[in-house]
Each structure stands twice: as structure tokens, then as C-alpha cells.
């Protein structure tokens, strides 16, 4: 559990001279050789892991020595002893991801100015040059966390890379020691959770996780998800699991904003509170430090309660956020708000405290303003989630200026909410939810739906406005055809069935450019441009 040196497990073994090879249970094996009796268990010309006789050793507990296997019985004995040591030291376990959580690395050419760019290290691995930038306050964060947590590195970076980064972060090996788990030791190419049983054979009741990705932890309730950190432009996570989609709870910082990142200050506060409340409850429970791992207080209950306190007391109405034909209760925004303690309702009442709107001017937004409620953008919710605290609504007040010109729902942009940890929904249903929402957003009339509140009917004024707009487009189309015959303008043609997309098929005029994708030139599921990078716009759960 603690990632100690292999010698740690030798307390239950005997010297070779004391153990009869025929009677040995081979509880400790190192590279197919029994550490107790010294017998080589690999058949002649056999492959790695092949056994010539039965062995009870099957658990790999040492992070950086996966070849060292011990029996399940011995693993539990060691795990129980480690738990007692942690509880006596009033510590928890913190699993720390590297890339885009506390560092950002590029293997592309980069001109480093040490006078202007602090905490950037240049190094070479396997003939390639890398530059690694520490997230602001990383060193202070790790030093503080080390007083409350036994810290482990778990990364999809290769072994050499992981140990190099560990040397940069912890040159004296006081923070992480030998507790470094890299891609070479991970059992799964897509999920880090597969190693938890081996590292913590008596259970993960003391384990807290920080990572910018939730999918690799299978949305564990022990996860504190962090906004991805990006310093180098056009570079994401160079060690992301192969084939995995890039995720983001909020837009990642790029270059200039990255120097002013304060996320680790916020996460330090959250982790400190979790640690303090855990041991307050532990002391109140008066639990004896005995071998009873199933009775040890589970830190995940503390994390859930801390998360629930963030927006406790907030009653929220959504306006233009969830498509009209989508299920409100399975929408990402609904689930995210619910996790963090808010209650989302579909109708106004005296209990409503906030309206989160996609645009200014809807009936619900006007009603909120008239009744003195907070009308805020979706960014307010994301900011609360990012910082684990209820932030000032005035910073995210919904106005005409704060509304995207397209009037599209913010849920169809790259700013999407991940369900980092939903205890009310089974994990196997998460992907079904993703498919359902994607289908809803890919249907037609998205622009029209996002400008109206959920459940609101089309008014006579709306109908009249459409008729006027339709008539105007027809006149423009007729004018366009006439001009085309004269050769004075580029041709357009009117398409009656394209009424809800503008009614015009543009054959080259810049004036109508992009209308086939709505006012802002985008459509859900299409690849769109975000500055220097292009990514597929998707919902991520």
C-alpha cells in the first residue's frame, strides 16, 4: 500500500535454509523465483509469469516493482498494518495525477525564456526533448499535502517519464518516495482503477484522488476533479490513454492565463477540509485501531458531504440550457448541480433563488429580474464546481452583453460539464445518457429551441415575426435571382424546405456565410475552431 521498497514484505518470509522447497507455499515471488525458498518456478524455456507448480502469490503491491508478487493473505496483512500506521499518523492517501493536473508537458519545439517563464524544466528522454511547466503553486501545494496525506503518483506516462517528473517535483524523494505508478505498471490501458485492489488490498476507504480526468477513474466518488492545466499552446495531454477523448470540466487555460492559475489554492482548501472533517468524525466514532478494515470510516462519505455543501440551499430554474426534447433529470447540468447540493426545478416558486440562462430576454430571465432573483450565466455554476464554493453571482450576472450573439444553448459549446461522480446514477447508464443527449442536440431546430425556455409555447408574436422574416427572405431571394440573371451578383436560390435555416442556399455570397449551421456557424457534433486548436464538440460524462 505504501509503495515501500521490496524489503518491506520480507518480515513474513524465512531464509532459504529454513524453508523446504517441497513444503513452501511460494507466498512471495520475484521474477518467477520464490523469495522464501529460492525455487525457480518458471519452466525451462517458459515465458514470464508461467509457473511449473502452484503459487499463492498473485498481488503486486509495490508500485515500481510489478514483478514482485505476494499472496492475497500476506497482502491483506500488510494492507491492514499500513492502514493502522496511517490512522495513527492521522493521514489519508492522496493519488496524484501528473499531466494537466499539476504539470503540463510538451515535446514540441519551445523557446524558453527563464527570465519570464518560471518553473519550466527542459530534459531529454529517448532522444526527444521535453519541456515541463509546473502549475502555479505546485511545490507549495505538495509540501502542504504531504503533512496530511501519504502521496502517490499515478500516471499514464511511461516509467522513465514518470520518474523524471518525480525527480523534478521531489528531488529529495521526501514527498512521494517510491510510490510512483506509471503506464508500465498499470493493469489497464484505459482505467487507473484496476490497480487499486492491488495497492490497497483491504479497501480504499482512506483514498482520495486528484485528476483532470474522471473517465480513467470510472467516475469514482473518491475523485476531486481538477480543471485541466495547459501552458503550451496546441498541446493537450501527451500521455492521455490511447483513443481517449479529451475531457474538460471547463475550458483549459492557454499560455497567458496559465501563469495566473489559482486552482491548486482552491484544491488545497478542499483537501484540507476533507482531512480535518474525516479525523473529526473518526475521533467521534471512537473506532479502535484493530484489524477491521470494513469498519473504518470511508473518506468518500466525507467527500460527498463536502461536495453537497457547495450549493446547498440554492433552488435553480434553467432557461434555454437543456433542449426542449431532452430529459431534464438526465442532463449534465442537472446532475452537476445536484451533486454540489443545488435543487433544480422546472417552474417558478417563492423558493427559487437562481435562474441560469443561456441568453438574455427569455420570460424566465425577466421574471427572475422582476422578483429580485439571481439571473446568472452557466459559467457561474462551472465556477462554483471548479472552486468548490458558492461564488459571487455578480461576477456572472446575465446581461445582454454576457450573452452569446447566437442565442444558442451554452450546452452545445465546448464548455461542457462532466459528471465526475454521480452516486444517484449507475455507471453503466452514463454512456446511455451521453447517447441520449447527443441525439437530442443533433436534431433539427436547435437554434429555435435554444432561444425559448423549456416548456414555453410559441406566442402569436413569435408566429408573426416568423411570417415577416419569411416574407423578407423570399423578397431577397427573388432579388438575388434577378441580379443573377443580370450577372451583377453571385447567385442564390430560395429553398422552401430550408425555412428554419434561413431559407437561402448560399452559393458564394459572404453576407450569408455560415447560415447552414445557425447564426454562429456551428452545429452540434461538428468540428469547430477554438483559436489554435480544433476539437470535436461532444458531451463527456
* Position 319 pLDDT exceeds 50: yes
pLDDT of residue 198: 85
Nearest to 308 by CA among 422, 440, 465: 422
CA distances from 481 to 133, 471, 515, 536 (A): 58, 15, 19, 37
Q: Please give the pLDDT value at position 501.
A: 33
Mean pLDDT over residues 509-534, rounded? Answer: 34
Q: Are 59 and 187 in contact (CB under 8 A)?
A: no
Using the predicted structure, report yes or no on whether residue 155 has a pLDDT greater than 90: yes
- Least trusted range by pLDDT, from 54-58, 139-143, 178-182, 517-521: 517-521
DSSP 8-state secondary structure symbol assigned to residue 163: H
Q: Does residue 271 have a pLDDT over 60? A: yes
Q: Rounded CA gap, 318 and 455, in Å?
A: 11
- pLDDT grade for 236, boundaries at 50, 70 and 90: low
pLDDT over 70 for what percent of the chain?
A: 60
Looking up cell 437530442 gives 440
pLDDT at position 8 over 80: no
Helix (H/G/I), strand (E/B), else coil: 123: strand
CB 309 within 8 A of CB 341: yes
pLDDT greater at residue 319 or residue 457 = 319
pLDDT computed for residue 286 by the predictor:
65
Lowest mean pLDDT among 71-80, 165-174, 358-367: 71-80
Given a cut of 70, whether residue 336 has pLDDT beyond it is yes
Q: Span 415-442, mean pLDDT?
A: 47
All three cell numbers of 3: 509503495
C-alpha separations of 354 from 62, 244, 271, 317, 373 in Å? 50, 35, 28, 6, 6
Tell me the domain boundaries of the chain. 6-71, 90-305, 310-454, 463-533
In terms of phi and psi (left: phi > 0; alpha: psi -120 to 50; beta: otherwise), the region of 39 is beta
**Residue 533, pLDDT above cutoff 50:** no
Task: Look at residue 407 in the predicted model and tell me its pLDDT.
Answer: 35
How far is 69 from 469, CA to CA, in rounded Å? 74
Cell of 234: 496546441
pLDDT in tens, 70-109: 778 888 888 899 999 999 999 999 999 999 999 999 988 8
**pLDDT over threshold 90, residue 54:** no
- The answer to which of 49-58, 300-309, 473-482, 518-527 has the lowest mean pLDDT is 518-527
pLDDT of residue 52: 59
310-454 and 90-305 share a CATH fold:
yes
- 117 pLDDT higher than 90: no
The 10 Å Cβ neighbour count of residue 324 is 17
CA gap 95, 10 in Å, rounded: 26
Model confidence band, residue 234 (pLDDT cutoffs 50, 70, 90): low
Could you report the per-residue pLDDT of 455-489, keeping only the tens digit for each? 343 433 344 444 445 545 554 555 444 444 444 44
pLDDT average, residue stretch 489-493: 40
Question: Is the pLDDT at 451 greater than 50, yes or no?
Answer: no
Domain 310-454 class? alpha beta
Least confident of 43-57, 125-139, 455-469: 455-469
Note the pTM of the prediction, 2 decimals: 0.68
More confident residue, 6 or 381: 381
Cα 46 vs. chain centroid, distance in angstroms? Answer: 42
What's the rounded mean pLDDT across residues 218-236?
86
Looking at residue 517, what is its pLDDT? 28
With cut-offs at 50, 70 and 90, classify the pLDDT of residue 139. very high
Fold annotation for 90-305: Rossmann fold (3.40.50)
Asked if the model's pLDDT at residue 154 lies above 60, the reply is yes
pLDDT at 402 (0 to 100): 75
Q: At what angle do helices 299-309 and 263-285 cross, to 10 degrees?
A: 120
Backbone φ, ψ for residue 528 (5° rounding): -130, 165
Neighbours of 16 (CB within 10 A): 14
Amino acid at each position: 500500500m505504501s509503495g515501500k521498497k521490496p524489503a518491506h514484505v520480507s518480515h513474513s518470509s524465512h531464509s532459504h535454509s529454513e524453508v523446504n522447497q517441497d513444503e513452501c507455499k511460494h507466498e512471495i515471488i520475484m521474477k518467477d523465483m520464490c523469495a522464501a525458498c529460492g525455487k525457480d518456478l518458471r519452466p525451462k524455456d517458459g515465458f514470464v509469469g508461467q509457473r511449473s507448480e502452484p503459487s499463492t502469490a498473485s498481488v503486486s503491491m509495490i508500485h515500481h516493482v510489478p514483478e514482485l508478487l505476494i499472496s492475497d493473505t500476506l497482502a491483506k496483512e500488510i494492507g491492514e498494518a499500513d492502514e493502522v500506521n496511517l490512522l495513527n499518523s492521522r493521514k489519508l492517501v492522496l493519488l496524484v495525477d501528473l499531466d494537466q493536473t499539476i504539470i503540463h508537458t510538451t515535446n514540441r519545439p519551445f523557446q524558453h525564456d527563464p527570465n519570464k517563464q518560471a518553473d519550466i524544466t527542459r530534459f531529454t528522454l529517448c532522444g526527444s526533448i521535453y519541456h515541463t511547466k509546473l502549475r502555479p503553486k505546485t511545490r507549495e501545494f505538495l509540501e502542504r499535502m504531504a503533512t496530511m496525506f501519504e502521496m502517490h503518483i499515478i500516471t499514464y506516462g511511461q516509467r522513465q517519464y514518470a520518474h523524471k517528473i518525480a525527480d523534478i517535483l521531489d528531488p529529495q524523494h521526501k514527498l512521494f518516495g517510491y510510490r510512483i505508478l506509471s503506464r508500465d505498471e498499470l493493469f489497464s490501458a484505459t482505467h487507473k482503477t484496476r490497480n487499486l485492489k492491488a495497492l490497497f488490498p483491504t479497501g480504499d476507504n482512506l483514498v482520495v484522488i486528484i485528476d483532470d480526468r474522471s473517465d480513467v477513474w470510472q467516475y469514482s466518488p473518491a475523485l476531486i476533479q481538477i480543471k485541466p492545466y495547459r501552458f503550451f499552446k496546441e498541446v493537450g495531454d501527451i500521455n492521455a490513454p490511447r483513443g481517449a477523448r479529451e475531457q474538460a470540466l471547463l475550458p483549459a487555460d492557454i499560455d497567458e492565463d496559465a501563469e495566473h492559475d489559482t486552482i491548486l489554492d482552491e484544491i488545497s482548501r478542499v483537501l484540507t477540509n476533507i482531512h480535518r472533517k474525516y479525523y473529526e468524525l473518526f475521533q467521534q466514532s471512537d473506532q479502535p485501531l484493530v484489524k477491521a478494515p470494513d469498519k473504518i470510516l470511508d473518506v468518500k462519505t466525507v467527500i460527498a458531504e463536502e461536495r453537497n455543501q457547495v450549493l446547498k440551499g440554492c433552488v435553480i430554474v434553467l432557461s434555454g440550457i437543456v433542449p426542449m426534447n431532452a430529459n431534464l433529470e438526465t442532463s449534465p447540468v442537472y446532475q452537476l448541480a445536484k451533486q454540489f447540493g443545488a435543487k433544480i426545478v422546472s417552474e417558478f416558486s417563492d423558493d427559487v433563488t437562481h435562474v441560469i440562462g443561456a441568453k438574455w430576454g427569455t420570460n424566465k430571465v425577466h421574471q427572475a429580474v422582476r422578483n429580485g432573483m439571481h439571473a446568472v450565466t452557466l459559467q457561474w455554476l462551472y465556477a462554483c464546481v471548479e472552486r468548490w464554493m458558492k461564488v459571487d453571482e455578480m461576477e456572472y450576472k446575465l446581461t445582454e452583453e454576457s450573452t452569446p450573439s447566437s442565442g444558442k444553448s451554452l450546452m452545445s459549446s465546448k464548455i461542457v460539464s462532466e459528471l465526475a461522480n454521480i452516486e444517484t446514477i449507475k455507471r453503466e447508464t452514463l454512456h446511455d445518457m451521453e447517447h441520449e443527449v447527443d441525439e437530442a442536440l443533433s436534431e433539427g431546430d436547435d437554434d429555435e429551441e435554444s432561444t425559448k425556455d423549456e416548456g414555453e409555447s410559441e406566442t402569436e408574436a413569435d408566429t408573426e415575426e416568423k411570417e415577416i422574416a419569411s416574407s423578407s427572405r423570399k423578397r431577397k431571394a427573388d432579388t438575388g435571382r434577378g441580379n443573377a440573371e443580370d450577372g451583377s451578383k453571385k447567385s442564390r436560390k430560395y429553398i422552401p424546405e430550408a425555412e428554419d435555416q434561413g431559407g437561402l442556399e448560399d452559393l458564394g455570397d459572404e453576407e450569408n456565410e455560415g447560415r447552414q449551421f445557425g447564426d454562429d456557424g456551428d452545429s452540434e457534433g461538428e468540428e469547430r475552431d477554438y483559436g489554435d486548436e480544433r476539437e470535436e464538440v461532444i458531451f463527456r460524462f
